[in-house]
Amino acid sequence: MDLPPREVPEGLTAQEYYKLGVQYKSMGWTEQARDALTFALEDNSDAEVTVSAKRFLRTKIPRFPVPLLAEQKNIEGFNLMATGDVEAARNTFEELIAQFPDFEWPYGNLAVLCLHDGQILKAKDLLEQALEINPDYVNGWLHMATAKGLELDLEGARRCVERALESDPTDTAAKAMRDALNEL
């Protein structure tokens, strides 16, 4: 996948801005994603794109603008986590939470590390904080469902997945988790 331009370009269609916003988000570039999705909303010629862009902004992009330093540190922490340097990732996310307490993603990322370490109560506490910042944070709800599942609270896990689907009925991970829970 080619890197998108660092600056959000002008003159794209609503659909192109939406796709660019999704691509920016996948790279952890929160504010470019927010800008591209906002441009998609300004061009209200495609009602379906408007609905999708609003939903994506509400459920997948941080609720509050994120400073560039926080965005970069979160990407660094995510990369550390992906390469298996758990301790460095943990420290990065803890520093991010201390410095930028209104940025929900580090809470979710640190909660994932806690879940892998069996620290379910700590993970749930972190996720509650993340969901307090952004009640529509789909990944937060899915991580909370995982935590409840690890506690064998399948009904609680189902409620979390349903809450994620209330925020974004199109989310494929939430649908897959719902289907898996229904199989149990």
Please check whether residue 30 is in contact with residue 71, taking contact to mean a CB–CB distance below 8 angstroms: yes
Count of structural domains within the chain? 3
pLDDT in the model for residue 76: 97
93 domain-assigned: yes
Q: Which residues of 88-115 are buried (b: 16+ CB within 10 A; e: fewer)?
A: ebbebbeebbeebeebbbbbbbbbbbbb
Please enumerate in sequence order all residues whose Cβ is within 8 A of that of 92, keeping only pairs 6 or more positions apart, or say none. Answer: 73, 74, 76, 77, 80, 106
- Assigned domain for 1 exists: no
Place of tokens 């660094």: 76
> Are 104 and 140 a contacting pair, CB within 8 Å?
yes
Residue 2 forms part of a structural domain: no
- pTM, whole model, 2 decimals? 0.94
Check residue 59 and give its pLDDT: 98
The total of other beta-carbon atoms located within 10 Å of residue 166's CB is 13
Q: Is residue 46 part of a domain?
A: yes
Instruction: Indicate whether 159 belongs to any domain.
Output: yes
State which residues form the domain around 105: 67-119
Q: Is residue 4 in a domain?
A: no
Structural contact between residues 69 and 22, judged by C-beta atoms closer than 8 angstroms: no
| pLDDT score at 169 | 97
Q: What pLDDT is recorded for position 100?
A: 98
List, for the chain, all residue ranges whose pLDDT scores fall below the cut of 50.
none
Instruction: Please tell me the predicted confidence (pLDDT) of residue 1.
Output: 61
**pLDDT score of 184:** 82
Query: What pLDDT, on the 0 to 100 scale, is given for residue 134?
Result: 98
